[in-house]
């Protein structure tokens, strides 16, 4: 059995960085057709910029530059992911840089063609909370990803998750929900384009919920490397953009 041309899996970290990983994994998988019994490993890095609301520090006006590192392994219906990032965070009240939190995910395809994947994600507070690079608490998320191939080159994808947030004493924090719905198209030259609508509750009760949209573009450089780019904007006037380079083996 083979994967569909646009097979997608969705995941990751921080407000904008989460979107970057989600889109990166979707478009990287879009160009691969691999037997389900084979092991596929991918490593991604890149550059990300976000200006606006931050869920790492309780602030509606933060500029973040990050260099993410994502490693994903898939064999059959099982998948494993590991992600972190080097962050540079700047706001009126603080400025800091360093390694952020680390997220580990485990996934299982409940259905294949169309695909329904259940994921459990654990965010470990490896970032320095005194610098504002982490809340200092671990979070646990349950996530369902759905992928439906409309045609050989067109697909719909959706994601729904609930995060159990590690609460920090003295801060008004809450468990949160996230939802995304999008579509992707692959051209004959394997260039991928896509669009998604996203909703995210903030972990801080004092910050607004975010409703926004993202677009992405991806193209394989060769059989090993793929480059992708994305941009997003939401109801809190938070803008984000990023580029990634992925290698698979």
- CA 51, 53, 58, 61 dihedral sign is positive
The yes-or-no verdict on residue 2 having pLDDT over 90 is: no
Q: Judge contact between 121 and 141, C-beta under 8 A.
A: yes
Min mean pLDDT across 50-59, 150-159, 169-178, 181-190 is at 50-59
Contacts (Cβ under 8 Å, ≥6 apart) of 160: 143, 144, 177, 178, 179, 180
Q: Are 230 and 26 in contact (CB under 8 A)?
A: no
Q: Please state, in angstroms and rounded to a whole number, the distance separating the CA atoms of residues 82 and 73.
A: 9
Its CATH class, for the domain covering 15-248, is mainly beta
Give the pLDDT of residue 36.
53
Residue-wise over 37-71: b if at least 16 C-beta within 10 A, else e?
A: eeebebebbbebbbbbbbbbbbbbebebbbebbbe
Longest CA–CA separation in the chain, Å: 54
**Structure tokens given for 100:** 């952020």
**pLDDT tens per residue, range 69-107:** 999 999 999 999 999 999 999 988 889 999 999 999 999
Provide mean pLDDT across the span 181-189: 91
Residue-wise pLDDT for 109-166, tens only, equals 999 888 899 999 999 999 999 888 999 999 999 999 998 888 888 989 999 999 999 9
For residues 206 and 220, what is the distance between their CA atoms, to the nearest angstrom? Answer: 42
Q: What is the pLDDT of residues 27-70, one digit of tens each?
A: 444 434 444 567 889 999 999 999 998 877 788 899 999 999 99
Collect all residues with Cβ–Cβ distance below 8 Å to 132 and sequence separation of at least 6. 56, 57, 89, 94, 96
pLDDT at 57: 77
pTM: predicted TM-score of the whole model, two decimal places: 0.85
In angstroms, the CA 182 to CA 186 distance is 14
Query: Average model confidence (pLDDT) for the chain?
Result: 84
Whether the link from the prior residue into 114 is cis, omega within 30° of 0, is: yes
């Amino acid at each position: 059995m083979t994967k569909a041309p646009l097979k997608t899996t969705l995941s990751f970290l921080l407000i904008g960085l989460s979107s970057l990983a989600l889109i990166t994994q979707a478009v990287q998988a879009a160009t691969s057709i691999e037997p389900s019994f084979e092991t596929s490993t991918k490593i991604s890095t890149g550059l990300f910029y976000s200006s606006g609301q931050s869920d790492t520090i309780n602030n509606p006006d933060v500029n973040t530059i990050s260099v993410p590192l994502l490693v994903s392994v898939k064999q059959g219906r099982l998948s494993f992911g590991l992600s972190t990032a080097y962050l540079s965070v700047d706001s009126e009240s603080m400025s800091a840089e360093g390694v952020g939190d680390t997220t580990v995910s485990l996934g299982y395809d409940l259905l294949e063609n169309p695909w329904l994947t259940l994921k459990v994600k654990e965010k470990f507070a490896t970032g320095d909370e005194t610098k504002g690079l982490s809340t200092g608490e671990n979070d646990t998320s349950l996530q369902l990803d759905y992928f439906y191939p409309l045609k050989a080159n067109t697909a719909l994808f959706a994601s729904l998750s609930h995060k159990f947030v590690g609460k920090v004493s003295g801060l008004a924090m809450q468990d949160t929900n996230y939802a995304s719905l999008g579509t992707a198209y692959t051209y004959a030259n394997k260039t991928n384009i896509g669009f998604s609508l996203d909703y995210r509750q903030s972990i801080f009760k004092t910050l607004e919920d975010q409703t926004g949209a993202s677009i992405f573009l991806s193209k394989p450089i060769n059989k090993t490397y793929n480059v992708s780019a994305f941009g997003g904007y939401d109801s809190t006037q938070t803008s984000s953009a990023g580029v990634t380079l992925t290698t698979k083996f």
